[in-house]
Structure 1
């Protein structure tokens, strides 16, 4: 087993300790790196359950306000580049790290695994990530209703318009099953990392380097439509009454990302929580997630 000398970081706070592998967290839409009511509680839980991991809770921007705003309005590809440089320059991660993404942070960290294999990602844990995108924006997180109404207007205006794609995060993983050809052509993020434009061999090679892909689906999700996207499922083309599960999708059957190989090797873990989006107890997290962070 590798040994680690580690530091817990949130903003500028650092404590030198030693223990289990480092952990990188990426928050979801409307949240921030160090919200005491969300990722702050996760960090405390990790510190209680694990022997002193180095925890990096990603902040996209110079402060929490920017971090929250960038979750709505900063081009996702720019965010990926920003985080890739941040991880690569962090010596505490050089031997490898576990990654936990919450909601949209799940697919963003998958993009990190595919595009930025150094430092090496060990396990990728996606908690409510929308890996086949969304087709709906039913509920707003937190106190962001004004922002969400603006986003809904932009999505109605044209999710695949160049201006909207480049300036609205949620448009970059908007997946309209009635406009599949337009989606594949215009999507600047999701269609790329899902190999629906040009095939990038490195995306498959790099994703196969991780140990396990842990996918958490929320069975009563009122924020992600369809919630099956959290397990790589999505609507059949032109049919929002039928879901095509991962193992029946072209992404899997053509093994464009190595998911078929990983599945056959039992390296994809399909977890469920019979709750709403990102709603889980400490005990559920301890039972289901902590085991993947211990070595």
Structure 2
């Protein structure tokens, strides 16, 4: 009897151990979790080329795809990151750990999730064109004319005004190099997750360093994200939009505010490039350089 129980237990443990690590997707601005031409296609590519029977979860915010799309523009990102953490905790198919890939602003939000969500534990965060150090420009907008005009008006009115910060997603990662004090003091999201001011630093460092891989993909001809170097954590210095300070020359890295240097020293920080415009990524690149290398 005990031998039978032992065998059943061993088989159960073996089956659990053999299940592939789930993969989480966070879509970009103007997109939704379930668009068959975008995230639906990405999900299909992962399932066809990733580990056999892998579970892929495309995060949705709100009760339907319309609300999910709107929340890519109008939401409090602190609430959405907390919501994402809750979704993963409550999904029995996620288990203890997961890989993740985010597109455009979704890449930034997944990195924030890795810092703030203690459980489940992320193994990999892949940021594809994610504005990790913020943006200072909004040249192209993938949403409707009405939504995009509203976004531009609010940013021009004042990105750091309280009602704009609390309502507009893009304002929450807007880093104006001419208004750095306002950014540090009034940004409700990016200034916190990048520890530009007092933050929950011990927790952020401890959580982010758990990653096996942090992968940053930069588009060399990006015309949407300004500056494009933000996709590798590069950004403008104070009062200057001509030069860009690279990650390794930044205080964020030198002082290791969120463990990026430690990840880099341990070979866990990866920089990839795509010679194309924003999110113009081929299936071949995504499969060979992302799925097969980091989601196995």
TM-score range, shorter chain: over 0.9
Give, in whole Å, the separation in 2 of the partners of 1:99 and 1:171. Answer: 24
The answer as to whether partners of 2:214 and 2:268 remain within 8 angstroms in 1 is: yes
Of 191-200 and 162-171, the range deviating more from structure 2: 191-200
| Matched residue SS, 1:235 | coil
Closer/same/farther in 2, CA of residues 22 and 193 from structure 1, 3 Å limit: same
Contact 2:76–2:169 (CA under 8 A) maintained in structure 1? yes
1:216 aligns to what? 217
Residue in 2 that maps onto 1:159: 159
Which secondary structure does the structure 2 equivalent of 1:236 belong to?
coil
TM alignment of 1:39-54, pairs within 5 A? 39-50=39-50, 51-54=52-55
Note the C-alpha offset of 1:19.
Answer: 4.8
- 1:224-235 mapped onto 2 (5 Å cutoff): 224-235=225-236
Equivalent-residue separation in structure 2 for 1:154 and 1:183 (angstroms): 16
Q: Deviations over 1:110-151 (max 9, x none)?
A: 11101102011011100011010000000011x522211111
Asked if the contact 2:213–2:294 (Cα under 8 Å) also holds between the matched residues in 1, the reply is no
1:4 to 1:251, Cα distance in 2 relative to 1, 3 A: farther
Distance in structure 1 (CA, Å) of the matches to 2:70 and 2:97 = 29
- Structure 2 CA distance for aligned equivalents of residues 243 and 32 of structure 1: 32
Alignment match, 1:132? 133
TM-score, normalised to structure 1's length?
Answer: 0.92
Distance 1:161 1:265, change over 3 A: same
Listed as ranges, the matches of 1:176-215 within 5 Å are 176-200=176-200, 201-215=202-216
Distance in 2, matches of 1:28 and 1:254, equals: 30
Q: Which has the larger radius of gyration?
A: 2
SS at match of 1:242: coil
Closer/same/farther in 2, CA of residues 260 and 65 from structure 1, 3 Å limit: same
Structure 1 residue ranges (4+ consecutive) displaced by more than 2 angstroms after TM superposition: 2-5, 291-295
CA-to-partner distance for each residue in 1:8-30, whole Å, 9 max, x for gaps? xxxxxxxxxx8521000000000
- Alpha-carbon shift at residue 4 of structure 1 (Å): 6.9
Query: Do the aligned partners of 1:123 and 1:292 also contact (CA within 8 Å) in 2?
Result: no
| Aligned partners of 1:87 and 1:119 also within 8 Å | yes
Secondary structure of the equivalent of 2:72?
A: helix
Question: What is the distance in 2 between the residues matched to 1:280 and 1:213?
Answer: 18
Give 1:59 shift: 0.4
Alignment of 1:1-295 (within 5 A): 19-50=19-50, 51-141=52-142, 143-200=143-200, 201-295=202-296
Helix, strand or coil at the partner of 1:124: strand
Whether contact under 8 Å (1:3, 1:20) holds in the other structure is no
Unaligned stretches of 5+ residues in structure 1? 6-17
Alignment deviations for residues 256-276 of structure 1 (CA, whole Å, 9 cap, x no partner): 011111111111000000011
How many residues in Structure 1 have an aligned counterpart in Structure 2?
282
Instruction: Please give the per-residue CA displacement for 1:36-79, whole angstroms capped at 9, x wherever unaligned.
Output: 11111111111110212101000000000000001100110110
Secondary structure, aligned partner of 1:241: coil
The normalised TM-score by structure 2 is 0.92
Inter-CA distance 251–152: structure 2 relative to 1 (3 Å threshold): same
Determine which structure has the larger strand proportion and give its number: 1
Per-residue deviation, 1:3: 6.8
- 1:217 touches 1:231 (CA, 8 Å); kept in 2? yes
Deviations 1:216-243 (A, max 9, x none): 0001111100010000000111110000
**Are 1:60 and 1:70, in contact at CA under 8 Å, matched by a contact in 2?**
yes
